[in-house]
């Protein structure tokens, strides 16, 4: 793995300390973990499959993708599509600014900090391979770990639309990796319907 250096490890620890402040706790293998720390670890693990040669700045962007997401609740915005999109935009901007500040404090230069911020804001999707790697990673984490929870909360038509939108954001490599995820039968059938 690239990035085995003091600056990278310092930045990673700073990001994880912010994730650990998440008041939402999940039980995983008998251990209580802050929700966003668990999400960040899952993102890092999937990136190893999506882009094993990723530069350390992309590894840090991946780790920071949901940085303190709980501090801007979805319920603070209208419960419609424009409200959702505004929430996502505001989250991306705030998370990008926070991540850049953390990296700067850890000793990264302005260019690296701004690059990480652009990836977190998802700028250059489809054109920038690193932005696409971040998007693929986020989609794969969603499909493997969070689709089942969504399936409990939404009707099939909405779930099919969610899967279709997720699939559309991914690269062909992301699609290949998605087909390797061991999902429950209900979610497998849902994906088959969405892609039919």
Global pTM value: 0.92
Neighbours of 194 (CB within 10 A): 17
In the predicted model, what is the mean pLDDT of residues 154-168?
92
Structure tokens at 178: 């998605």
Sorted by where each begins, the domain ranges of the chain are 1-121, 129-196
Question: What pLDDT sits at residue 3?
Answer: 43
Question: What pLDDT sits at residue 1?
Answer: 42
Asked if residues 122 and 46 have their Cβ atoms less than 8 Å apart, the reply is: no
pLDDT at 99 over 60: yes
pLDDT at 149 over 90: no
pLDDT at 156 over 60: yes
Give 143's pLDDT tier (boundaries 50, 70, 90). very high
Give 11's pLDDT tier (boundaries 50, 70, 90). very high
Phi-psi region of 122 (alpha: psi -120 to 50; beta: other; left: phi over 0): left
Tokens 């000793």 belong to 107
In the predicted model, what is the mean pLDDT of residues 86-95?
93
For the chain, give the mean pLDDT: 93
* H helical segments located in 4-146: 6-19, 35-50, 56-64, 81-105, 110-120, 129-141
Asked if residues 125 and 169 have their Cβ atoms less than 8 Å apart, the reply is: yes
The CA distance from 63 to 174, in Å, is 18
Structure tokens at 126: 């489809």
In the predicted model, what is the mean pLDDT of residues 156-182?
94
pLDDT at 4 over 80: no
Q: What is the 8-class DSSP label of residue 15?
A: H
Structure tokens at 86: 């505004």
Q: What is the pLDDT of residues 41-76, one digit of tens each?
A: 999 999 999 999 999 999 999 999 999 999 999 999
pLDDT at 169 over 90: yes
């Amino acid at each position: 793995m690239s990035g085995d250096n003091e600056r990278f490890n310092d930045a990673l620890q700073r990001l994880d300390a912010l994730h650990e402040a998440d008041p939402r706790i999940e039980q995983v293998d008998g251990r209580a973990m802050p929700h966003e720390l668990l999400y960040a670890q899952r993102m890092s693990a999937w990136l190893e499959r999506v882009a094993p040669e990723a530069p350390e700045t992309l590894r840090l962007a991946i780790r920071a993708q949901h940085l303190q997401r709980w501090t801007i609740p979805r319920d603070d915005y209208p419960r419609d599509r424009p409200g959702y999109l505004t929430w996502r935009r505001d989250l991306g901007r705030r998370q990008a600014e926070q991540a850049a500040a953390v990296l700067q404090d850890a000793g990264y230069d302005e260019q690296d900090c701004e690059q990480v911020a652009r990836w977190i804001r998802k700028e250059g999707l489809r054109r920038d391979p690193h932005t696409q790697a971040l998007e693929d990673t986020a989609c794969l984490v969603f499909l493997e770990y969070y689709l089942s929870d969504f399936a409990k909360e939404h009707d099939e038509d909405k779930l099919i639309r969610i899967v279709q939108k997720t699939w559309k954001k991914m690269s062909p490599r992301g699609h290949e990796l998605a087909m390797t995820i061991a999902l429950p039968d209900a979610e497998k059938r849902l994906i088959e319907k969405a892609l039919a």
